[in-house]
Amino acid sequence: MKKLICLALALALMLSLALPALADKDVEDMSKLVITGNAVISLEADTATLEVGAQTRGKTVAEANQDNIKIIDAIILEVEKLGIEKKYITTSNYNVYFEQDYSVVGTAQSLINGSFVVNNMLRIKINDITKVSAVIDAASAAGANNIHGLSFQSSKYEESYLEALKEAVLDAKTKAEVLALVNGMSLGRVLKVESLDTNSYNYAMNYVGTMAKEAMDTTILSGNVLVNATVTLTYELK
């Protein structure tokens, strides 16, 4: 009996010690405010990136590759004539595979032939966006039959992102002050700061696809580049 009484007293003592600790933790959690701030800055695009290339077929890899090289060399030559330096023209993708051709008669399917396919893509950085249309037309005229991935950027993106971060922090602080005031409290120190990095580009032509040589006088509108910044602040409340 004495053992049971001692055990009960011990449990009661442990519980009495634990409850204030739990209460303190609840108070600690309740005295914090987590708030998110956002900011967006719109910039005029001044650079562009475009992918152009060629897909060729042949009975052998050498045949398909030789035809491909001729087109790629012609594309590079025509693009350079527009003032695009060679250092801004790089290979973004190259692959070779065998494609089987089938003949279907009724419900039966049989292999009749096949060919090797060569894909070669170039990534072109255009620092003068007034030349985007000319680059597309020149590449098409040179034999490009794959054009895609056109996106616009701004050379002022990095500095604008830092400015957007400042604005996002101010946005979060303003919201926090209002919420604290409404609840009869005031802001204390900042306990934690988190930022969410986001890149925003203007994809005016996300995929152009296969284009014929006759596709000339292409009209492209660059638009603006959006710089997004998001921060999350954790405030102590008084």
Percent of the chain with pLDDT over 90: 68
The type of residue at 45 is A
Residues 219 and 148 in one domain: yes
Residues 1 and 52 in one domain: no
This prediction has a pTM of 0.68
Would you place residue 111 in the very low, low, confident or very high pLDDT band (cuts 50, 70, 90)?
Answer: low
Residues 139 and 222 in one domain: yes
191 in a structural domain: no
Residues 50 and 72 in one domain: yes
| Residue 72 to residues 47, 81, 143, 146, Cα–Cα distance (Å) | 23, 14, 8, 11
5 in a structural domain: yes
Residues 50 and 77 in one domain: yes
187 in a structural domain: no
Are the CB atoms for 51 and 92 separated by under 8 Å? yes
* pLDDT at position 122: 98
Distance in angstroms (rounded) separating the CA atoms of residues 14 and 121: 71
**For the chain, what is the mean pLDDT?**
83
- pLDDT, one tens digit per residue, over 66-82 is 999 999 999 999 999 99
Residues 20 and 75 in one domain: no
Would you place residue 196 in the very low, low, confident or very high pLDDT band (cuts 50, 70, 90)?
Answer: confident
* pLDDT at position 219: 75
37 in a structural domain: no
Per the structure, the complete domain to which residue 209 belongs is given by: 43-57+68-88+126-157+199-230
Residues 1 and 84 in one domain: no
Nearest to 146 by CA among 196, 201, 220, 213: 213
Residues 26 and 77 in one domain: no
Residues 47 and 76 in one domain: yes
pLDDT, greater one: 22 or 204:
204
- pLDDT, one tens digit per residue, over 114-142 is 899 999 999 999 999 999 999 999 999 99
221 in a structural domain: yes
165 in a structural domain: no
Are the CB atoms for 84 and 113 separated by under 8 Å? no
The type of residue at 5 is I
222 in a structural domain: yes
Residues 204 and 139 in one domain: yes
Q: Please state the rounded mean pLDDT for residues 39-63.
A: 95
106 in a structural domain: no
What are the structure tokens assigned to 75, written together? 């594309």
Residues 5 and 80 in one domain: no
Residues 73 and 137 in one domain: yes
Tell me how many domains the chain contains.
Answer: 2
pLDDT at residue 98 above 60? yes
Provide φ and ψ at 109, rounded to 5°: -125, 130
| Residue 162 to residues 159, 185, 192, Cα–Cα distance (Å) | 5, 31, 19
